[in-house]
Structure 1
């Protein structure tokens, strides 16, 4: 046999391992209980030997028999590991045990297979030195870690070039491993080739750094390791560290750039497993340590940080194993469709107003934050220790470090002059960040490390210190912008301890598609956007806010209001009202006057009203402006609330801000400003006199824009529209409508469609002129859904001559204008076919939904809700519908409204992640508000049925008591 030549150890056993038992690089079987239940390599070898001894088996039959037994051993071992994983005891480090067990199982299979390949399939009585071979695990497998769906990375190590027999052994092993169902990444190289390629590729260098021999010639592997350190690693320490840190930055950017994204990547994302790997790689490269424990011995990590490392690593390992087992693929993202099940499997439950999945995700974000802090501080500390130093220094010139407010500058980063700085004066916890902000400096990792070791000194005494609070308020309101420093304070843990209410929202998430970031990250981003508005950086996208922010008289209140607007989320109540109480308590502490504190509290309490009115109410309705101004009351608060709202919306989710929403906010601001500034009296607004005057002005402007029209024709046209029509459009649009209606009057069976792309507001305006009839809105909404157009707003007018003039503002799937010629042609065709009866929109939408891929957002449950409000408008009943967004939802709602004999005058269509919030201004068949109790109940029941998920529950169940409790009717008395 080959045992005396290919290995110093008897063939069939692992090569002696000098690192056995070490967590990071030792033999993967160390510490695993009852290993024989996972795999019995002795029995497996006997089975293969028995097969090889049979004379009646042909070579292919022998191979198939070997493959069958190896495959059975793999399946049985995997089943046992999964059984242990799913049945583990609470508190057990099951993630670590699982990845080590899977690596052990794979090790033994590779060893048994290598024995058979070299000893039976391709035996050699006297192999040459050139035929020596070592099978080496690299990458994560080299660390002795293997997740359920991970690749098995192998290096077939040669002393020189490949030989025919060596090639046969490698090929035999690889095909067998692939046929077993393993995903094998492999390379066959000599020692020289390994070193040459490692010099050119940091990824290969990293893989070799973690290499571990599984089978074969140990001397060959030891030679590779020794030469790796002597010829390559020891001379490229700085290069390697810089490359890994740059690689980390690039990796983070590819997966979202923040650890607080909605669906985090637990392997590649910020605070994920790869960050822990980076720490280990750099530590091993710099300090030659084989384990993370070695970093403690080297003084890089403290024992407490080592424990935090181990705890975080096991948590992430556990998540990764659950993901792989749950999805059956190498899934690394905590996507919506797995988060709820993951929370259940990990034992999280609903508690104190927070659902289980949110508690689970908060735990994840806390761990990710810990990992981020740990790797950032440690990697930066190592980097600082190995920075290139000047080769020459004149001894006669003493080196003096620059100082700022008692702190020293070390490598262009602010640091502390002595270790007791925070102990002797805890105000330095705040002063350090204040100084860094004032001088545009970063904070040195040594200072951050000292902060984390002294966080307990950020206590009640410091929170009540006048100077500390003054400095913190300066940070919040600094003209340099607070975002960078607030994020740094949050990462260091200071922010949450100095403002305990903020600490309660650190890593707080909401399980929906609308909120992309955790509450703390959202708040810090909002502070940064507020500064961008003030500094003019967003003048193109938010021109009004960028202008009026300089008219704000309560600047400090604005910044503190922004900081506190979501401070009470996750407490199980109305976060605006709870946050108001926090503001009343915190304002005086930070040194605000009573007036400023009251303004901050008002902003926190009312910070959602601007979007509620702009996105869900008809701004053209005088009652909308009247109600809004009744809440705002002053021009100053109007300015404050608009600026805060713009920053809030943009920081919530980068994808939801668009020109259309900006236009809605801007229009509401202008209408309210007219009233609050006294330009338009409240009496005129309430009586409608203002609207009558505006309507006459619109008619006069249209008359002037139609100089070629005969006077009689102009008069006839001006008599067709109600006041609301003339107030809803500018002169240019009214001219287009006039031309469209004149053309329709000359066409038999008219159906005219006019489209205009509004790039400024990011929408396409679709105007349809056709004879009015019941169900028109429903058909149009269905046709647009079939064509892929998303309606965001609608104005429905029936002229006095019986013609319907309906205007829809639509967007595509990316919230941009529906502007492609092919899309517009498809939209026009769908409308014509729907109106002629050729297109059955309901059936087409069902077929479209059936053919679509299942969305991972289907896990979100949005309870259907119907609110009927007869106080929001003087002339209309306002119906607000909340439900889970889906293709064809608006069409179903429109059909239900038609069946209820309701006339739709306007519609506001909004989508917040997975939630659709649609508002309709309606009248009954007599053109009046709907006020009869039985009719209101029928409306509620019918619309709840329309909101229900197709096939979920029956209409009668929708009308049951549970749904009745979720609906609210606000009928006029």
Structure 2
């Protein structure tokens, strides 16, 4: 009779049960009846066997790093033999029973994944002890002894001990228990007892409950997907629980086994739920995913299932992926991973379609039905409310239908039958250059892309069917293309499709609260389809080894005419792709109160229409990066830039828009605070014009109250929650002096804060008013009363005693961050043309705690004055920009000084905090 591990090669190299059993027998004889000594000897012998078996299984994975199935079978086989040896030793040497009664029967079963014969290196050992009725004294002794021995072996054991009746009762009421028992497998003990349990499970639990089980498992799967981000294309996927992971494959097997009582995945073919080709895809994806999970466990030494950035690099190396064609080894490895996850998704859809079709003839449906329309649509037919094909060769007869089916689905709000999706995947290769040039096909595609309904869903269907990448080959190159950084949460194709969906939601007004400006601008656009095509193409050239904006602009010039866009529309799309990063770079890295910043920006944009298009493209691009990336702070900065640029671009406002804006802000502030003309005039004369441009109205009011309350005090510090930007606003009003900025930055780090933005203003009377936005080092809240008090106290102490600050910084341990998995070469850009008054210094470096302090300290050592600082982070990459002058207020022109400044900043960007502190001592 075939057994589960028959295909496992050279099993005795993993563990030879006969040899180990003989050794235990000898040790038991030598113990002279000392039960405790026997137990210690048994555990010791089993530990040696367990360690040797694990080493052999690990060696096999190293030799064949993508054969996960063999590895998990080896670990499961090893545990089987350990359990059998322990059961025999326990019942023979520790708790022997001469004439057992019918009650003193016990069977040991494997459940869950272990029952399936699959076990990752650090997975739990899920077992069950079954007794015929209530446990007897002997069965309780055996169970307790075995569990203690397993724990002594260092195994994580998930166990249950129940009678057959209890097992049936609990299986009926608990889906998790029912699923675990569905895969129950006999290990050792009373075989007849196991057979009776299995027979009763089929008769009492499974019979006539298949429909309910399928519905519950699908609901459970959907909830799990929501918890894990609801996308199989997240850049740090969970190999076990994530969408497209192992659990999805297991769910298919559970459903097939429950409905058809199959014993293996291969039997799903005979049941008609998978074809032989689909079975091969199932086994290939499962083999690879298991290999990845085993590598995760072995590298970390624990049950780790999340494929984090640092582990991706190591597993890519272990599995022998190499860099090629502009893609690094880790990017190629992750692209392969995502393609396997996509196959899992495809198999899920096809499997459920097979199940649904088979049951429909019997009057049952296991998959929720959709709205039905009793009409034919462009040659397609309806199958219970879903678009289906009238014949299997329908696409082959006219491949343009491969595009049209998605346009029909969008136009009528219908789902596509999984069998039609499968046929589309099969026939996608029919899309050749002739089909790509066909006007009908391009019109249908453009209808889907610019749909006022739900283009995101339909484009995702098109992508899952491989039609998208075949019709737009440049898009096919970024399918499953990972961006190896902490900023982007999704693959390039998933990011792009999400961006299109966000654009559609903004146009419909669904998220007007989050994006009031963009929602209002959509109605003013002269050509909305230009914007949709630009969103589609903005990242299409990623992974080619060059500037994706420039390369993407060239793609747009060749693709847009094919889609039916005019020459003017094509030029605008190409421009948008070329400059799709310009607005965010200007808003987040430059001083918007500097008039030349706005003029340089508008010199590139040139027209109000392009400004509107660029703003909306920028917003959907940022928001589609992933959850938590978009915030009110970024919205405010982009709005400020848009307003300032629009002021310049509108005819008649180029000369006086700035002055009018300052006066309008001052009038609104005076009215809000109820100050007399004399008091307010004296106050406004103390602030430079740039201050009024830089700060929003609410911060202007806060700063004025702060300054008035401080009176003639040399130092005043305020810290309060600033919910509009998801941070804490820290304001320092102090006599201006060299080093003020770097000392405040160091104190904020000491207090446990992380500066996300800084605006530094030197007043005309020699005072300084500096505003800092602060979060915790991981982007969380920094607003408890203790935190606010501590930050004020630390700043005050730092400004009073610099050496005390350095000593404390040296003693404070730095938290380790995920950014340490990335190597980023620091880069310093110094620009004397970006501003009329200031030298603009931009530093790109790996983000880390106290980075801003290190950079500010280097600027202080270089004897320059910082007038404003702009802090932006893109995942692991920090981009900090400073507007500086020399101590006399002029630009830094000397070549030697610029070289020294660049060198010090490069050292600070790449140095550890201790090195920065040492240099501070030397300068002091």
TM-score band, normalised by shorter chain:
over 0.9
State how many pairs are aligned: 912
Q: Is the 8 A contact 2:864 2:887 kept in 1?
A: yes
Q: Structure 2: how far apart are the matches of 1:226 and 1:484?
A: 45
Query: Cα deviation per residue 1:667-717 (whole Å; 9 max; x = unaligned)?
Result: 111111111121422xx3xxxx65456556666777778876684x66654
Q: Does 1:881 align with 2:843?
A: yes
2: CA distance, partners of 1:160 / 1:740:
78
Q: Aligned partners of 1:862 and 1:400: how far apart in 2?
A: 56
**Equivalent residues of 1:757, 1:817 under 8 A apart:** no
Bigger shift: 489-498 or 916-925? 489-498
Change (3 A) 1:480 1:121: same
In structure 1, the partner of 2:691 is 725
**Please, which moves more after superposition, 515-524 or 372-381?**
372-381
Matching residue of 1:34: 10
Q: Distance in 2 between matches of 1:324 and 1:584?
A: 48
After superposition, the Cα gap between the structure-2 partners of 1:211 and 1:841, relative to the gap in structure 1 and judged at 3 Å, is: same
Distance 1:522 1:731, change over 3 A: closer
How far, CA to CA, are the matches of 1:200 and 1:756 in structure 2?
52
Deviation at 1:884, TM superposition (A): 1.2
Residue 965 (structure 1) aligns with: none
Counterpart-to-counterpart distance in 1, 2:917 and 2:435: 60
Pairwise mapping of residues 354-365 of structure 1 onto structure 2 (< 5 A)?
354-365=327-338
Q: Partners in 2 of 1:782 and 1:384 — Cα distance?
A: 67
How far, CA to CA, are the matches of 1:895 and 1:73 in structure 2? 58
Query: 1:731 Cα shift?
Result: 6.8
Residues in 1 aligned to 2:36 and 2:353: alpha-carbon distance in whole angstroms? 57
| Residues 758 and 817, structure 1, Cα contact 8 Å, conserved in 2 | no
1:77 aligns with 2:20: no
Partner in structure 2 of residue 963 of structure 1: none
Q: How does 1:808-957 map to 2 (within 5 A)?
A: 808-812=772-776, 815=779, 818-837=782-801, 840-850=804-814, 852=815, 854-950=816-912
- Deviation string 1:868-916 (CA, Å, 9 cap, x unpaired) is 0011101100000111111111111111111111111111111111111
Stretches of structure 2 that go unaligned for 5 or more consecutive residues are 365-371, 920-924
Deviates more, 1:757-766 or 1:536-545: 757-766
Query: 1:285-684 residue pairs with structure 2 within 5 A?
Result: 285-386=258-359, 401-681=374-654, 684=655
The whole-number CA distance in structure 2 between the counterparts of 1:428 and 1:932 is 67
Alpha-carbon distance in structure 2 between the residues aligned to 1:714 and 1:231: 84
1:51 and 2:27 aligned:
yes
Q: Matched residues in 1 for 2:672 and 2:431: separation?
A: 69
- RMSD of aligned alpha carbons: 2.6
Cα pair distance change 1:538/1:169, threshold 3 Å = same
Contact 2:410 2:448 in 1 (8 A): yes
**Separation in structure 1 between the aligned mates of residue 345 and residue 793 of structure 2, nearest angstrom:** 54
Change (3 A) 1:525 1:710: closer
Give me the whole-angstrom Cα distance separating, in 1, the residues matched to 2:917 and 2:117. Answer: 56
User: What is the TM-score when the length of structure 1 is the normalising length?
Assistant: 0.89
Where do residues 132-147 of structure 1 align in structure 2 (5 Å cutoff)? 132-147=105-120
Structure 1 residues 817 and 723 mapped into 2: Cα distance closer, same or farther (>3 Å)? farther
Q: Is the 8 A contact 1:849 1:887 kept in 2?
A: no
CA drift of 1:110 comes to: 1.3
Contact 2:854 2:916 in 1 (8 A): no
Deviations 1:237-267 (A, max 9, x none): 1111111111111111122211111211000
The CA distance in 2 between the partners of 1:361 and 1:163, in whole Å, is 53
Which residue does the alignment assign to 2:196?
223
Instruction: Indicate the residue corresponding to 2:241 in structure 1.
Output: 268
- Preserved CA contact (<8 Å) 1:238 1:387: no
Aligned-partner Cα distance in 2 for 1:114–1:754: 69
| Correspondence list, 1:63-212, <5 A | 63-88=39-64, 94-212=67-185
1:900, 1:655 → 2: CA distance?
Answer: 37
Using the TM superposition, name which of 787-796 and 605-614 deviates more.
Answer: 787-796
Aligned to 1:778: 742
Contact 2:826/2:909 (CA < 8 Å) preserved in 1? yes
Shift of 1:760: 3.3
Residues 297/932 of structure 1: CA separation in 2 closer, same or farther (3 Å cut): same
Q: Is contact 2:592-2:694 (8 Å) kept?
A: no
Contact 1:910 1:917 (8 Å CA) reproduced: yes
Is the 2:268–2:274 contact (alpha carbons within 8 Å) kept by the matching residues of 1?
yes
| C-alpha distance in structure 1 between counterparts of 2:183 and 2:350, whole Å | 23
- Alpha-carbon separation, structure 2, partners of 1:144 and 1:705: 72
DSSP 3-state at the match of 1:403: coil
Q: Which residue of 2 aligns with 1:6?
A: none
Cα distance in 2, alignment partners of residues 554 and 197 from structure 1: 62
Specify whether residues 484 and 952 from structure 1 end up closer, same or farther in structure 2 by C-alpha distance, changes over 3 A only: farther
Q: Distance in 2 between matches of 1:825 and 1:310?
A: 59
1:554-575 alpha-carbon deviations (Å, 9 max, x no partner): 1111101101110110011111
